[in-house]
């Protein structure tokens, strides 16, 4: 009788467990496989009992027992391979498992599998046939796959899945090992099935561990289903009891005295009352079941929104910390919460909790936790788990922004005793990210407040330092100008002598020169001319900076000036195999009131630059002068390196040189174009400039035919006060 009651409990609990898991989520493969496995275990227990106590059909019950266990093996493998994630990623694994278990199950009905049954002392002993070896091979293969899937699944799972898996696997392994001993190993060794009747009882171990994992760790997310179905059961039970009793009492007292029409009306009214009262009853029982199953329940979105409102409304660090801690502690129902913030060479604790012998967790210990989320129950062993256990911390969330590591959010145990779920961890991650930004802003705000108290003193100190530095810079700049001016004057005198003697040698004043000697003398003469122009540039820049740059105005024939400057450069162009050409005006150009020497510098600088930056082979420079719309238009065009687009806005500023120009001519000063712009604009003209990198450039100027004002004093007075504008390009 005791065994019968035990078998009934086994059958009912397995069926109930399987149906409950299946109904909770029938679309998931693990849920379906688990439910079918539980059904197989129930059939195995039922048929196994009948094989010993319904002896008239014991052969049929024995075959059905083997069929049920073969069937259960297949779905157990499918479940293990898919829970909580796939272990063997082979799409035909499930089909192979079902096919194999089906084939073995069909073979159990063959007479070559079980020849007959011997009844001895109310115990049925199986006489196996030749096909029984197939079942043994099937069982061995199942056992090997079973062990492989367990080990692989254990290694793959982490966190809360690891805990769920642990309890489930303990139950399955205990059931499988103990049942195999009583129902397979002992019968094979002893030849008797005396203990086989008790093997099915070990499924209760499996049911117990699985049920515990459901309640403790929300296995299969069964808690929500339990609430839902329990609510409907209580609601329907209440309606059945209350209204059934009411209807019965009413019927026994009054209904016999009512006409058939009145009786029908009574039943209609009773049905309407049941329909309208079902929803309020269901809500009532939902509240009760939620209090039982969801004592620690909270809405993650509501908590995140509440903390968001706090962070948006507060900037004070202490208020942010205390309000955030209170919200997290009360909503998630945690016994202790702490915010630890890194300060200068120290830690700031908000709640002063998590102590061990009055010693709080230190910076050295916190550094060992790393910068990720650490959940104590997810750690198998190691230094981090020891630290968390030492101070009673269940979870640690690192607080950091993209620029700064701020501290930690430390959480104690949940009051319900549950571990931190996936929803908890996801919610706290979002909160820790928001809190990190808010604390960083609060720290910055605090630093600004502290800085404001000393800002005035620092401003005064910096102002005095800047005044002193500015005075020093002015002195250095003045010394620099004086040095450049002095050096230029000192260089000019000997250079004039050198240039004069070289010119005399070139003209043959000291005797006739050979062709080779004349070529060398011309190279030296060109070099001295370039040196003279550089000295003139330095002197002019120095005069401009000192407001001592004046124009010497006279009537000038610009065409003659250009031809004379070109004549000086012809020998140089021949040396470099450069084609230098000039296109003069079609009509005679009138004289223009200009500073002849400075205009010569402009012409020479533009042509000299074009020659330097032309192509090393096949290079050409075209110089032209024309009259257009009351302006003398001078242009120098080349096919050289050009000016990069990025460098063009700064091209006419002092000391600026484009990178490609530096590579071609490292000894340049960056003063030539600056002087060109200054001289042209002071004489009322405009710069002409157009360039494309690696395709050449056009430099030049427009000067009005009317020239500068006739009064030299008027012009120089204007120059002394003028602030130069940006060059105009066209």
Q: What pLDDT score was predicted for residue 492? A: 61
What are 26-64's pLDDT values in tens digits?
888 888 888 898 888 888 888 888 877 777 788 888 888
Q: Which contacts qualify for 313-316: CB closer than 8 Å, 24 or more apart?
A: 314/438, 314/442, 315/441, 315/442, 315/445, 316/442
**Please, which contacts does 276-279 make with residues 24 or more away whose CB atoms are closer than 8 Å?**
277/239, 278/235, 278/239
Same domain, 182 and 152: yes
What is residue 666's DSSP assignment? Answer: T
C-alpha pair distances (Å), 409 with each of 327, 336, 366: 13, 11, 11
Domain identity same for 339 and 386: yes
Instruction: Choose the final residue of a domain: 443, 461, 496.
Output: 443
- Answer whether 0.85 is exceeded by the pTM: no
Last residue of a domain, one of 169, 199, 217: 217
Q: What is the mean pLDDT of residues 85-90?
A: 82
Q: What angle do CA 597, 599, 605 make, to 5 degrees?
A: 105
Instruction: Look at residues 356, 314, 357 and name the one whose alpha carbon lies nearest to residue 446.
Output: 314
* Lowest-pLDDT range of 137-141, 260-264, 381-385, 627-631: 260-264
CA distances from 60 to 51, 117, 138 (A): 8, 10, 21
Q: Assess whether 565 and 705 both reside in one domain.
A: yes
- Alpha carbons 540 and 364: distance in angstroms, whole number: 67
Q: Do 238 and 121 lie in a common domain? A: no
Q: What share of the chain is helix, strand, coil (3-state, %, to 5)?
A: 65, 10, 25
pLDDT of residue 146: 82
407: alpha, beta or left, given left = phi > 0 and alpha = psi -120 to 50?
Answer: left
Backbone dihedral angles phi then psi of residue 622, each to the nearest 5 degrees: -110, 120
Give dist(CA 150, CA 166) in Å, integer. 10
Classify residue 513: in a domain, yes or no. no
Residues 170 and 316 occupy one common structural domain: no
In angstroms, the CA 78 to CA 81 distance is 5
**Inside any domain, residue 474:** no
Question: What's the CATH code of the domain at 128?
Answer: 1.20.1070.10
Largest Cα–Cα separation, the chain: 160
- Residue 729: the pLDDT is 38
For 137-194, how does the pLDDT look when each residue is reduced to its tens digit (9 = 90+)?
Answer: 888 888 888 888 878 877 776 655 666 677 777 887 888 788 888 877 887 777 776 7
| Distance set, CA 201 to CA 2, 205, 307, 591 (Å) | 12, 8, 52, 124
295 touches 413 (CB < 8 A): no
> Is residue 273 located within the same domain as residue 169?
no
Contact 520, 587 (CB under 8 A): no
What's the pLDDT score for residue 402? 79
Same domain? 196 vs 92: yes
**Domain-located, residue 405:** yes
- What is the chain's mean pLDDT, rounded? 78
Give the number of domains in the chain.
4
Q: 569 and 690: one domain? A: yes
Candidates 669, 692, 489, 683; CA nearest to 598 is 683
State how far the Cα of 396 lies from the Cα of 384, in Å rounded to an integer: 10
Q: What CATH number does the domain containing 709 carry?
A: 3.30.565.10
Q: Is the dihedral of CA 417, 422, 426, 432 positive or negative?
A: positive
State the residue range of the domain holding 289. Answer: 225-293
Rounded to whole angstroms, how far apart are CA atoms 567 and 564? 5
Of 199, 194, 76, the C-alpha closest to 139 is 76
- Residue 88 falls inside a structural domain: yes
């Amino acid at each position: 009788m005791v065994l019968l009651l035990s078998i009934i409990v086994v059958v009912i609990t397995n069926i109930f467990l399987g149906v409950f898991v299946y109904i909770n989520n029938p679309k998931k493969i693990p849920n379906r496989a688990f439910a079918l496995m539980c059904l197989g275990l129930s059939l195995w227990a039922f048929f196994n009992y009948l094989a010993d106590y319904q002896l008239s059909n014991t052969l049929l019950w024995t075959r059905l027992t083997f069929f049920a266990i073969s069937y259960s093996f297949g779905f157990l493998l499918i479940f293990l391979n898919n829970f909580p994630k796939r272990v063997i990623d082979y799409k035909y694994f499930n089909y192979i498992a079902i096919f194999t278990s089906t084939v073995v199950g069909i073979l159990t009905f063959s007479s070559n599998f079980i020849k007959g049954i011997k009844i001895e002392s109310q115990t049925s002993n199986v006489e196996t046939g030749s096909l029984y070896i197939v079942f043994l091979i099937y069982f061995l293969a199942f056992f090997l796959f079973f062990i492989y899937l367990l080990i692989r699944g254990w290694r793959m799972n982490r966190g809360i899945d690891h805990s769920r898996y642990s309890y489930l696997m303990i139950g399955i392994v205990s059931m499988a090992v103990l049942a195999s001993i009583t129902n397979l190993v002992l019968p094979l060794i002893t030849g008797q099935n005396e203990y086989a009747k008790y093997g099915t009882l070990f499924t209760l171990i499996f049911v117990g561990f699985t049920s515990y994992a459901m309640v403790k760790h929300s296995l299969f997310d069964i808690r929500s289903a339990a609430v839902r179905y329990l609510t409907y059961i209580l609601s329907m039970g209440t309606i059945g009891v209350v209204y059934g009793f009411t209807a019965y009492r009413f019927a026994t007292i009054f209904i016999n005295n009512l006409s058939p029409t009145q009786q029908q009306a009574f039943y209609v009214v009773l049905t309407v009352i049941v329909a309208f009262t079902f929803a309020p009853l269901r809500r009532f029982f939902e509240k009760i079941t939620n209090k039982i199953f969801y004592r620690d329940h909270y809405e993650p979105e509501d908590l995140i929104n509440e903390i968001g409102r706090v962070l948006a409304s507060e900037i004070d660090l202490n208020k942010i910390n205390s309000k955030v801690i209170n919200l997290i502690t009360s909503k998630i129902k945690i016994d202790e919460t702490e915010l630890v913030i890194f300060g200068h060479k120290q830690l700031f604790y908000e709640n002063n909790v998590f102590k061990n012998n009055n010693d709080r967790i230190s910076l050295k210990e916190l550094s060992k936790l790393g910068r990720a989320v650490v959940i104590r129950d997810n750690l198998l062993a190691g230094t981090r788990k020891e630290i968390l256990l030492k101070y009673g911390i269940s979870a640690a969330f690192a607080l950091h922004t993209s620029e700064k590591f701020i501290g930690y959010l430390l959480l104690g145990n949940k009051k319900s005793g549950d571990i931190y779920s996936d929803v908890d961890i996801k919610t706290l991650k979002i909160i820790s990210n928001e809190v990190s930004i808010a604390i960083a802003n609060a720290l910055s705000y605090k630093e600004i407040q502290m800085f404001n108290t000393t800002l005035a003193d620092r401003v005064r100190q910096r102002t005095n330092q800047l005044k002193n530095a500015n005075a020093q810079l002015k002195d250095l700049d003045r010394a620099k100008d004086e040095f450049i001016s002095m050096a230029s004057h000192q260089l000019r005198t000997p250079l004039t002598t050198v240039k004069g003697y070289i010119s005399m040698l070139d003209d043959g004043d000291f005797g006739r020169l050979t062709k080779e000697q004349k070529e060398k003398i011309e190279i030296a003469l060109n070099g001295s001319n370039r040196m003279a122009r550089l000295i003139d540039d330095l002197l002019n820049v120095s005069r401009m900076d000192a407001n001592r740059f004046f124009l010497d105005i006279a009537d000038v024939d610009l065409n003659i000036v250009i031809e004379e400057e070109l004549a000086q450069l012809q020998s140089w162009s021949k040396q470099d195999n450069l084609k230098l050409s000039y296109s003069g005006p079609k009509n005679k150009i009138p004289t223009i009131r200009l500073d002849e020497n400075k205009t010569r510098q402009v012409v020479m600088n533009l042509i000299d630059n074009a020659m330097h930056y032309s192509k090393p082979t096949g290079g050409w420079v075209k110089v032209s002068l024309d009259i257009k719309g009351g302006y003398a238009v001078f242009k120098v065009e080349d096919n050289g390196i050009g000016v990069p687009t990025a460098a063009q806005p700064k091209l006419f500023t002092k000391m600026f040189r484009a990178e490609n120009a530096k590579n071609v001519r490292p000894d340049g000063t960056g003063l030539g174009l600056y002087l060109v712009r200054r001289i042209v604009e002071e004489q009322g003209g405009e710069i002409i400039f157009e360039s494309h990198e690696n395709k050449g450039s056009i430099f030049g100027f427009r000067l009005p035919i009317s020239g500068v004002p006739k009064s030299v004093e008027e012009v120089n007075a204007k120059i002394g006060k003028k602030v130069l504008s940006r060059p105009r390009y066209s």
